A and B are shown apart, each in its own frame.
Chain A
Amino acid sequence: MTRSKALLALEDGTVFHGFSCGVAGEVDGEICFNTSMTGYQEIFSDPSYAGQIITMTSPHIGNYGVNAADMESRAVFARGFVVRALSRSPSSWRAEGSLRDFFVRHNVVAIEGVDTRRLVRHIRECGALKAVISTVDLDEESVVAKAKASPGLVGRDLVAEVAVSSAYRWGGLVPGGGVPADIGAVPIKPDYRVVALDSGIKYNIARQLSEVGCEVIVVPPTTPAETILEHKPDGIFVANGPGDPSAVDYLFETLRILLGKRPVFGICLGHQMLGLAVGASVFKLKYGHRGANQPVKNLRTGKVEITSQNHGFCLDFASVGRLDVAESGGLDMDTADLRAWVQAGVAPVVRSEGFGRVQLTHVNLNDMTCEGIRLLDVPAFSVQYHPEAAAGPHDSRSLFKEFVNLMKAGA
Chain B
Amino acid sequence: MPKRKDISKILVIGSGPIVIGQACEFDYSGAQACKVLKDDGYEVVLVNSNPATIMTDPGLAHRTYVEPVTPEFVEKVIAVERPDALLPTLGGQTGLNCAMALVDSGALEKWGAELIGAKAEAIRKGEDRKLFAEAMKRIGLEVPRSGYAYSTGDAEQLIGDLGYPVIVRPSFTLGGAGGGIAYNRGELVDTVSQGLALSPISEVLIEESVIGWKEFEMEVMRDSADNAVIVCSIENFDPMGVHTGDSITVAPAQTLTDREYQQMRDASIAILREVGVETGGSNVQFAIDPATGRMVVIEMNPRVSRSSALASKATGFPIAKIAAKLAVGYTLDEIENDITRETPACFEPSIDYTVVKVPRWTFEKFCGTDETLTTRMKSVGEVMAIGRTFEEALGKAMRSLENNRGGLGADGRDRFVEHKFDEHLAIPNEQRLFYLAEAFRRGRSIEELHAITHIDPWFLDRMRTTVGIEQQIKGRDLSRIDAEELRSAKRAGLSDVQIAWLTDSSEHAVRAARKSLGVLPTFKVVDTCAAEFTAITPYYYKTYEEEDEVVAATKPRVVILGAGPNRIGQGIEFDYCCVHAAYTLSEMGYETVMVNCNPETVSTDYDTSDRLYFEPLTLEDVLDIVDAEDPIGCVVTFGGQTPLKLAKALEAAGVPIMGTSPEAIDLAEDRRRFSAVLNELKITYPSAGTAESFDEALQVAERVGFPLLVRPSYVLGGRGMVIAYSESYLERYMAEAVAVSSEHPVLLDKFLEGAIEVDVDAVCDGESVYVGGVMEHIEEAGIHSGDSACCIPPYSLGSETVTQIRAHTKTLAMRLGVRGLMNVQFAIKDQGIYVLEVNPRASRTVPFVSKATGVPLAKVAARVMAGEKLADMGLPPDEREMVRFCVKEAVMPFGRFPGADSVLGPEMKSTGEVMGVADDFPAAYAKSQLAVDYSLPVSGTAFVSVSDRDKRQAVSVVKHLQLLGFSIMSTKGTARALRAAGIPVVEVRKKHEGRPNIVDEIANGNVQLVINTPFGQQTRSDGYHIRSAAVRHGIPNITTISAASAAVQGIEAVKEGRLEVCALQDFEQYR
Interface residues of A (CB under 8 A from B): 16, 33, 35-39, 41-42, 57-60, 63-64, 67, 70, 84-85, 87-94, 115-118, 120-121, 124, 291-295, 297, 302-304, 306, 365-366, 389-394
Task: Please tell me if the beta carbons of B529 and A93 are within 8 angstroms of each other in the complex.
Answer: no
Task: Please tell me if the beta carbons of A39 and B333 are within 8 angstroms of each other in the complex.
Answer: no
Partner of B545, one of A38, A39, A57, A117: A117
Q: Is B803 an interface residue (CB 8 A)?
A: no
Task: Please give the distance in Å from A70's CB to the nearest CB on chain B.
Answer: 7
Task: Please tell me if the beta carbons of A293 and B349 are within 8 angstroms of each other in the complex.
Answer: yes
The interface residues of chain A lying within 8 Å CB-to-CB of B547 are 115, 117-118, 121
The interface residues of chain B lying within 8 Å CB-to-CB of A118 are 545-547
Task: Please tell me if the beta carbons of B348 and A93 are within 8 angstroms of each other in the complex.
Answer: no
- Chain A's closest residue to B353 (CB) is A59
Give 25 CB contacts A-B under 8 Å. A33-B530, A33-B532, A38-B257, A38-B258, A38-B262, A42-B258, A57-B531, A59-B388, A59-B389, A63-B255, A64-B255, A70-B259, A87-B461, A93-B293, A94-B259, A94-B293, A117-B352, A292-B348, A293-B529, A294-B347, A295-B333, A304-B346, A365-B333, A391-B258, A394-B265
Partner of B352, one of A41, A70, A120, A303: A120
> How far, in angstroms, from A57 to B456 measured CA to CA in the complex?
23
Task: Please tell me if the beta carbons of B346 and A392 are within 8 angstroms of each other in the complex.
Answer: no
Per-residue interface assignment for chain B, residues 512 to 554, with 1 indicating a CB less than 8 Å from any chain A CB and 0 otherwise: 0000000000001000011111100000000001110100000
> How far, in angstroms, from A67 to B258 measured CA to CA in the complex?
12
Partner of A57, one of B229, B290, B352, B549: B352
Per-residue interface assignment for chain B, residues 956 to 975, with 1 indicating a CB less than 8 Å from any chain A CB and 0 otherwise: 00000000000000000000
Partner of A124, one of B227, B351, B354, B532: B532
> How far, in angstroms, from A5 to B257 measured CA to CA in the complex?
29
The interface residues of chain B lying within 8 Å CB-to-CB of A391 are 258, 262
Q: Is B458 an interface residue (CB 8 A)?
A: yes
With contacts A60-B254, A60-B389 known, what are 12 further pairs, Cβ within 8 A? Answer: A37-B351, A91-B458, A92-B256, A93-B290, A94-B257, A118-B546, A121-B531, A291-B530, A291-B532, A306-B348, A365-B333, A366-B344
Q: Which 10 interchain pairs have the tightest Cβ spacing?
A: A39-B258, A118-B547, A57-B530, A91-B458, A293-B348, A391-B258, A35-B350, A115-B546, A38-B258, A115-B545
Task: Please give the distance in Å from A73's CB to the nearest CB on chain B.
Answer: 15
The interface residues of chain B lying within 8 Å CB-to-CB of A87 are 458, 461
Task: Please give the distance in Å from B392's CB to the nearest CB on chain A.
Answer: 9
Task: Please tell me if the beta carbons of B333 and A91 are within 8 angstroms of each other in the complex.
Answer: no
The interface residues of chain A lying within 8 Å CB-to-CB of B343 are 295, 365-366
Q: Is B266 an interface residue (CB 8 A)?
A: yes
The interface residues of chain A lying within 8 Å CB-to-CB of B262 are 38, 389, 391-394
Task: Please tell me if the beta carbons of B258 and A392 are within 8 angstroms of each other in the complex.
Answer: yes
- Chain B's closest residue to A291 (CB) is B350
Q: How many chain B residues touch the partner (CB < 8 A)?
A: 55
Q: Is B457 an interface residue (CB 8 A)?
A: yes
The interface residues of chain B lying within 8 Å CB-to-CB of A94 are 257, 259-260, 293
Task: Please tell me if the beta carbons of B352 and A58 are within 8 angstroms of each other in the complex.
Answer: yes
Interface of A is mostly: loop
- How many contacting A-B pairs (Cβ < 8 A)? 163
Within 8 A of A (CB), among B51-70: none
Task: Please give the distance in Å from B530's CB to the nearest CB on chain A.
Answer: 4
- Chain B's closest residue to A65 (CB) is B257
The interface residues of chain B lying within 8 Å CB-to-CB of A306 are 229, 347-348
Task: Please tell me if the beta carbons of B257 and A57 are within 8 angstroms of each other in the complex.
Answer: no
Task: Please tell me if the beta carbons of B530 and A58 are within 8 angstroms of each other in the complex.
Answer: yes
The interface residues of chain B lying within 8 Å CB-to-CB of A85 are 388-389
**CB within 8 Å for A70 and B257 given contacts A60-B389, A117-B545, A302-B225:** yes
Task: Please tell me if the beta carbons of B229 and A39 are within 8 angstroms of each other in the complex.
Answer: no
Task: Please give the distance in Å from B288's CB to the nearest CB on chain A.
Answer: 9
**CB within 8 Å for A116 and B257 given contacts A89-B461, A93-B293:** no
Task: Please give the distance in Å from A40's CB to the nearest CB on chain B.
Answer: 8
Within 8 A of A (CB), among B715-771: none
The interface residues of chain B lying within 8 Å CB-to-CB of A36 are 258, 350
The interface residues of chain B lying within 8 Å CB-to-CB of A91 are 255, 456-458, 461
Task: Please tell me if the beta carbons of A60 and B349 are within 8 angstroms of each other in the complex.
Answer: no
Per-residue interface assignment for chain B, residues 134 to 177, with 1 indicating a CB less than 8 Å from any chain A CB and 0 otherwise: 00000000000000000000000000000000000000000000
**CB within 8 Å for A390 and B352 given contacts A91-B457, A304-B332:** no
Task: Please tell me if the beta carbons of B347 and A366 are within 8 angstroms of each other in the complex.
Answer: yes
Task: Please give the distance in Å from A65's CB to the nearest CB on chain B.
Answer: 9
Task: Please give the distance in Å from A302's CB to the nearest CB on chain B.
Answer: 6
Task: Please tell me if the beta carbons of A293 and B347 are within 8 angstroms of each other in the complex.
Answer: yes
> How far, in angstroms, from A292 to B342 measured CA to CA in the complex?
18
> How far, in angstroms, from A341 to B388 measured CA to CA in the complex?
39
The interface residues of chain A lying within 8 Å CB-to-CB of B253 are 38
Task: Please give the distance in Å from A20's CB to the nearest CB on chain B.
Answer: 16
Task: Please give the distance in Å from A76's CB to the nearest CB on chain B.
Answer: 17
Q: Is B446 an interface residue (CB 8 A)?
A: yes
Q: Is B434 an interface residue (CB 8 A)?
A: no
Task: Please give the distance in Å from B767's CB to the nearest CB on chain A.
Answer: 50
Task: Please tell me if the beta carbons of A89 and B457 are within 8 angstroms of each other in the complex.
Answer: yes
The interface residues of chain A lying within 8 Å CB-to-CB of B524 are 117
Task: Please tell me if the beta carbons of B389 and A393 are within 8 angstroms of each other in the complex.
Answer: no
Task: Please tell me if the beta carbons of B530 and A120 are within 8 angstroms of each other in the complex.
Answer: yes
Task: Please give the distance in Å from B905's CB to the nearest CB on chain A.
Answer: 48
> How far, in angstroms, from A359 to B621 measured CA to CA in the complex?
55
**CB within 8 Å for A35 and B546 given contacts A59-B388, A306-B229, A392-B262:** no
Task: Please give the distance in Å from B290's CB to the nearest CB on chain A.
Answer: 6
Q: Is B837 an interface residue (CB 8 A)?
A: no
> How far, in angstroms, from A214 to B461 measured CA to CA in the complex?
44
Task: Please give the distance in Å from A288's CB to the nearest CB on chain B.
Answer: 10
Task: Please tell me if the beta carbons of B389 and A84 are within 8 angstroms of each other in the complex.
Answer: yes
Task: Please give the distance in Å from B349's CB to the nearest CB on chain A.
Answer: 7
> How far, in angstroms, from A36 to B349 measured CA to CA in the complex?
10
- Chain B's closest residue to A59 (CB) is B388
> How far, in angstroms, from A294 to B260 measured CA to CA in the complex?
20
> How far, in angstroms, from A93 to B390 measured CA to CA in the complex?
21
The interface residues of chain A lying within 8 Å CB-to-CB of B534 are 124
The interface residues of chain B lying within 8 Å CB-to-CB of A366 are 342-344, 347, 532-533
**CB within 8 Å for A303 and B226 given contacts A57-B530, A116-B352, A393-B265:** yes
Task: Please tell me if the beta carbons of A303 and B227 are within 8 angstroms of each other in the complex.
Answer: yes
> How far, in angstroms, from A134 to B256 measured CA to CA in the complex?
31
Task: Please give the distance in Å from A337's CB to the nearest CB on chain B.
Answer: 15
Q: Is B261 an interface residue (CB 8 A)?
A: yes
**CB within 8 Å for A37 and B293 given contacts A117-B545, A121-B531, A303-B227:** no
Best-buried of B225, B258, B344, B533 by chain A (most CB within 10 Å): B258
Per-residue interface assignment for chain B, residues 330 to 359, with 1 indicating a CB less than 8 Å from any chain A CB and 0 otherwise: 001100000000111011111111100000
Q: Is B291 an interface residue (CB 8 A)?
A: yes
> How far, in angstroms, from A390 to B225 measured CA to CA in the complex?
26
Per-residue interface assignment for chain B, residues 68 to 111, with 1 indicating a CB less than 8 Å from any chain A CB and 0 otherwise: 00000000000000000000000000000000000000000000
Task: Please tell me if the beta carbons of A35 and B229 are within 8 angstroms of each other in the complex.
Answer: no
The interface residues of chain B lying within 8 Å CB-to-CB of A33 are 530, 532
Partner of B257, one of A39, A120, A121, A297: A39
Task: Please tell me if the beta carbons of B531 and A120 are within 8 angstroms of each other in the complex.
Answer: yes
- Chain B's closest residue to A391 (CB) is B258
Task: Please tell me if the beta carbons of B446 and A89 are within 8 angstroms of each other in the complex.
Answer: yes
Best-buried of A37, A59, A63, A93 by chain B (most CB within 10 Å): A37
Task: Please give the distance in Å from B136's CB to the nearest CB on chain A.
Answer: 19
Task: Please tell me if the beta carbons of A59 and B354 are within 8 angstroms of each other in the complex.
Answer: yes
Q: Is B292 an interface residue (CB 8 A)?
A: yes
> How far, in angstroms, from A274 to B225 measured CA to CA in the complex?
30
> How far, in angstroms, from A389 to B263 measured CA to CA in the complex?
12
- Chain B's closest residue to A88 (CB) is B461
**CB within 8 Å for A295 and B346 given contacts A91-B458, A303-B225:** yes
Best-buried of A38, A88, A292 by chain B (most CB within 10 Å): A38
Best-buried of B265, B350, B390, B546 by chain A (most CB within 10 Å): B350
Per-residue interface assignment for chain B, residues 441 to 484, with 1 indicating a CB less than 8 Å from any chain A CB and 0 otherwise: 00000100000000011100100000000000000000000000
